[in-house]
Amino acid sequence: MVPWWAKGSHKGTSVVVKMENPNCSMVELEAPSEEDFLIGSTPTGSREKLRGKNAKQLTWVLLLKAHRAAGCLTSITSTFLSFGSTVRRRVASGRTDDNDIETDENKAVKTGFYNCIKVFLWLSLLLFCFEVAAYFKGWHFGAPNLQLQYILSVPLGFNDLFDWLYTHWVLIRVGYLAPPLQFLANVCIVLFLIQSMDRLILCLGCFWIRLKKIKPIPKHEAVADLESGEDSFFPMVLIQIPMCNEKEVYQQSIAAVCSLDWPKSRILIQVLDDSDDPMTQLLIKEEVHKWQQEGAHIVYRHRVLRDGYKAGNLKSAMSCSYVKDYEFVAIFDADFQPSPDFLKRTVPHFKDTEDLGLVQTRWSFVNKDENLLTRLQNINLSFHFEVEQQVNGVFINFFGFNGTAGVWRIKALEESGGWLERTTVEDMDIAVRAHLRGWKFIFLNDVECRCELPESYEAYRKQQHRWHSGPMQLFRLCLPDIIRAKISVWKKFSMIFLFFLLRKLILPFYSFTLFCIILPMTMFVPEAELPAWVVCYIPAIMSFLNILPAPKSFPFIVPYLLFENTMSVTKFNAMVSGLFQLGSSYEWVVTKKFGRSSENDLVSLVEKGPKHQRVGSEPNLDKIQADLKQEQKARKTKHNRIYTKELALAFLLLTASARSLLSVQGIHFYFLLFQGVSFLLVGLDLIGEQVI
């Protein structure tokens, strides 16, 4: 008897599976039919027929999976071959980061740091060979505690001399090397825990802000005045766009600023061009002239002598006689594109708040998904803005000015001494001096300004060097002023310990020392130990906290952890250079940009009217030819490099990971292995933009 749920003439649904290999034909697989559910009631012959049919289908499915596995294997093999070919070409080209060293002083500083790393590398290789020989001669090590189990395998000859040498080496380790190494490790662990606690408190503060929905809100009267269009609350605003040889992005920034929704009679745009390339100067000047013809209140300024870099450029612009007619100044770097309502969302916060000196907005990135490097930068900067800047702005009304996408009260700038060229972080300098004079800051996390991230490791490395050497220069210069300032003891402690020492000095110090020097050394001096929670668990938790503001980046949490440790060598070098005023601390290199636009930009171009549809100047033959020539010239001079310090540290960490296998230290082995591979990829410039 056939059950009610099996009634009917069900013949099965055909499923067609197409093989990717053109030599294979298509096969039709049938879904379960009515007979498949009635095997128990079918004759023996039909049952065998069904089994043969199912076996044939299963064979084709297995063949299909094998075909896919073979394709995957082929793809992996092709990737490795391409990787090997890229590495071979890069090594054969012989271009290293030493080619960027311009002065003898910088060369001496960078070469000295590199030589120190090479000494550790050669010493580790020598000790590794010594330890391997000892292991095969019977000296075995247990983990986690060191247990020497001497097994005499060769009773005479060289074995006795080797045993004597190795025994004395162990005694030297135990008596002279392990104690200072363990002490230094404990100091770094304490610093690591303090910095981790600071990061945890910042995250709790951010959680509290979200829970209570705390955010700066302008006075209702200011918003009402803007909506009603009353001229009484459209203060005079000066817009400054400092730039230098940035022909890829000048059109976008000028167009975005000229499209700001603000009365034309109450705004003035200064294009501050420090370019030393005549063609770039002409292109920018032409762009400004065309916007002037469209009615924009915009002027072009060019300095013959580029003294003081960006700070000198801004200082020169503020010395113009007409600046006294303006109350506020908004600053945008050449790659920043503010939205039309930027001023309407920032300037109202100043009304009836006379002690407010700065309104800083958040950055958003049009190329954050361009490559792995930009994704990792997005994680870092998302945490910086949403957690660090927002928490400091809400609870202590102070944070470092980001140099762009912010609005200053001109009175605050003047009372704080104006722009100074004494460091490479003029933005942080003016923020510290303004805070010491009682000015308050607010951060708007919900107001974003689009910009670009550096896509090549070379550009990112130079940017990070400037960002980490400048604060140490500033700390040496501002420390006496902070101590003498008439502010509360808590604010002095917060500025000296939290703002400068903990986040600008201690963080790069322990990151490099603990994970790139001490950890590999403990593999060769196993009497000094680093607990597993220091190597793995706490860093993993901190990486998890860092990635919370960018939840879509969770798949990159492991590369992020490894890359941050990899960047510690650049940040440590920059910190030391700035702290001791070495030559490389005064390097200023404009971060290379590509002039990319987001999808929203393209949509807005379609929606805008004819007047604002153009985001740049009309194309002409001369301009196109000039752009093509410059592009060809850039391609010839553009190339990937080999970074010697990162490569040396890669081999040091990989050697230490191999040594950890002799002591059966599992988690240390995996950390050192992956960290060494990370240094290797960065050292070969395989992260970020690829040219050759």
Active site amino acids: 274, 427
C-alpha to C-alpha distance for 440 and 404, rounded to whole angstroms: 17
Task: Decide if 346 contacts 447 (C-beta within 8 A).
Answer: yes
Determine the 3-state secondary structure of 301 from DSSP: strand
Separation in Å, CA 110 to CA 48, 117, 466, 513, 585 = 78, 11, 15, 17, 11
Residue 221: count other Cβ atoms within 10 Å of its Cβ: 12
Strand partners, 328: 237, 409
- First vs last C-alpha separation in the chain: 74
Q: What is the DSSP string of 243-259?
A: ESS-TTTHHHHHHHHHT
- State the angle between helix axes of 557-579 and 372-383 in degrees (0 to 180), rounded to the nearest 10: 70
Enumerate residues 6+ apart whose C-beta is below 8 A from 215. Answer: 209, 444, 445, 446
Residue 251: count other Cβ atoms within 10 Å of its Cβ: 18
Instruction: List the one residue out of 527, 688, 659, 620 whose CA is nearest residue 179.
Output: 527
Burial of 476 (C-beta count, 10 Å sphere; 0-12/13-18/19+): middle
What is the 8-class DSSP label of residue 642?
Answer: B
415: its two tokens: 């009372």
Task: Decide if 247 contacts 283 (C-beta within 8 A).
Answer: yes
C-alpha to C-alpha distance for 253 and 360, rounded to whole angstroms: 18
Q: For 442, what's the count of Cα atoms within 13 Å in the CB-facing half-sphere?
A: 19
422: its two tokens: 């004494």
Strand partners, 28: 16
Determine the 3-state secondary structure of 421 from DSSP: coil
Identify residue 297 by its one-letter amino acid code.
H
Task: Decide if 473 contacts 585 (C-beta within 8 A).
Answer: yes
161: its two tokens: 């001399």
Instruction: List the one residue out of 342, 347, 274 whose CA is nearest residue 313.
Output: 274
Instruction: List the one residue out of 220, 413, 396 whose CA is nearest residue 330.
Output: 413
C-alpha to C-alpha distance for 63 and 271, rounded to whole angstroms: 65
Task: Decide if 471 contacts 501 (C-beta within 8 A).
Answer: no
What is the 8-class DSSP label of residue 496?
Answer: I
Q: For 260, what's the count of Cα atoms within 13 Å in the CB-facing half-sphere?
A: 31
C-alpha to C-alpha distance for 360 and 408, rounded to whole angstroms: 9
Strand partners, 440: 356
Separation in Å, CA 439 to CA 412, 413, 461, 473 = 7, 10, 33, 23
Mark residue 297 as left, alpha or beta (left: phi above 0; alpha: psi -120 to 50; beta: remaining).
beta
